[in-house]
Structure 1
């Protein structure tokens, strides 16, 4: 049983080809793009446990801790992370994940890594990691659409109000086009975040969005005059499509650009062989909006781990807030 840690693209992609699950969210490109969001010396890294021909691949971002520059902590690439495995048998898989967690914990402690926080990919099994030292917490449910029929059948799952608003968008002459440039998406994102007084972190730079293009698709919503009034980005991960950034011009909301876009993308996804559209969660109003396209949900959990408890307590300095890791609470 060997544990290897690396940050180069060649080693990363060689190991990525060995795992079973869809690989975009575990790719070097996705992790490298996510590292741009954190800056300040953050880099993409991955650990691989190999045992008897099977592997567990765990990608993450490694960040220096400002209060203790010689130490670091780990976070999953934005938005999801987890553990990718080559084993198909669920019992063997759980055993491998358990042994990975134990071995990785020893390595992280020796490396001076204090904590890890993972936003777990809801489509990946994680049996075994809790017994290996991770604490799992349910965060909320996420809305998912099973693309198991033609678009006319899937529309029957929309609630009455959403179906009406989709038809309004269609009557308003909106159209959807796939594009290769996220510039307009970035502009709409920043305009909406400014309007909402959002935290600076979420003002994603154009460099980040461009770096995601190898693992994503971007669509423009065009108004009746051909102008761009909305833009959506989706991460492509095997037969799952993840809604990542979906924004529209606030002055054009009356034309129903987002309602139209979600419906049009669902039709596009069905035509291109996707099996699932992950719409995600959010605050109550946003969650209900997403669920108006279909009632199905999937649990979304997070994983936490403290590798160096004494160091963590010192860095927390008596702060017992629920935020994790406490020393990063601003």
Structure 2
């Protein structure tokens, strides 16, 4: 522990066992809350992994994992920080889910967290909430919580016949065409993923990002994926679509308890006429159902209603809202940091948050 009062504890990635013990003892959890998941992004230089623990009894507590980032610009010679949840889903995780709707408990948690932030020079906070745990709960009384977009998911309690019925006709034709073309799907659980499998995924993923002219945010080195599989093996599955033995399309799936998420996907452009992507995604849905998961999450698009979202929506008619939270803890410092921006500041209402990180980007 790097700090403690009677109200809260603060853990870092050195305290993995205690961190994960608290997370796994919650009524529900997901891989996005585990120490190793945040440590991956810490190693990538995106911030220092932290777990804030607010506890009122052994049974009633909340854990909140995030990345603590140093703000490059100093204010009057002093260094300040901000926090963000890593890529994926996050926010507070409650030991029992009903606590997320207990306004008094949430209020006491946020009061303690706000005091901590102000005392440690944390200027702002950005949360990507977990859409299937509804963990924004009563937080809208303490920060602006807004809908960032919609995400697509499959309800895996539906029958296979209903899942197929909810698949768009155009995708059904592509799935059938892919199978007719001899495309075969392979699933490899984390413990069985080899170094060659990781390199195959990395190569196809990197080529796909090049093809899409993706921003640097979506690029990861080979070492990242190697650590990813090594550290998160029980929670990872690689899905490959093969043609004549060659991998031509791939999904990286994260899985915990009732949730499965197609976290990253990629394919080789020259093999797209074989329709491997549709076949692979549909078979991944069926795999998740057969494995006993309740939800297969596809995520959303880069922008609301874009072509990526439309593609995912052709595999399911089920939609959930994806929410984010924004909080300024040190108003005066925030204003000074953002003072170089043209126009009037919007603070927590800004589209790009925190605004000061947009300067020079």
The interval holding the TM-score normalised by the smaller chain is over 0.9
Alignment-derived partner of residue 22 in structure 2: 15
Deviations 1:224-280 (A, max 9, x none): x11010111011121111111111101111101110101111111111101111111
Q: CA deviation at 1:99?
A: 1.7
Structure 2 counterpart SS, 1:201 = helix
Q: CA deviation at 1:92?
A: 6.2
Contact 1:83–1:97 at 8 Å: present in 2 too? no
Alignment-derived partner of residue 135 in structure 1: 144
Structure 2 counterpart SS, 1:137 = strand
Contact 1:168–1:256 at 8 Å: present in 2 too? yes
Structure 1 counterpart SS, 2:64 = strand
User: Quick one: distance in 2 between partners of 1:89 and 1:67?
Assistant: 40
Structure 2 counterpart SS, 1:177 = strand
Unpaired runs of 5+ residues, structure 2, are 1-5
Deviations 1:160-218 (A, max 9, x none): 11111111111111111123142222111211111222111211122322333222211
**Quick one: which of 168, 177, 196 aligns to 1:168?**
177
TM-score by length of 1: 0.94
Q: What is the root-mean-square deviation of aligned Cα atoms in Å?
A: 1.7
**Quick one: which of 241, 254, 258 aligns to 1:221?**
241
Structure 1 counterpart SS, 2:178 = helix
Alignment-derived partner of residue 29 in structure 1: 36
Size of the aligned set, in residue pairs, is 326
Decide which moves more: 93-102 or 295-304: 93-102
Q: CA deviation at 1:88?
A: 4.1
Contact 2:30–2:259 at 8 Å: present in 1 too? no
Q: CA deviation at 1:21?
A: 1.3
Alignment-derived partner of residue 63 in structure 2: 57
Alignment-derived partner of residue 291 in structure 1: 313
Note the 1:99-114 alignment, pairs <5 A.
99-114=108-123
Structure 2 counterpart SS, 1:252 = helix
Deviations 1:272-312 (A, max 9, x none): 10111111110411111101011110010101111111000
Unpaired runs of 5+ residues, structure 1, are none
TM-score by length of 2: 0.86
Contact 1:231–1:247 at 8 Å: present in 2 too? yes
Decide which moves more: 176-185 or 298-307: 176-185
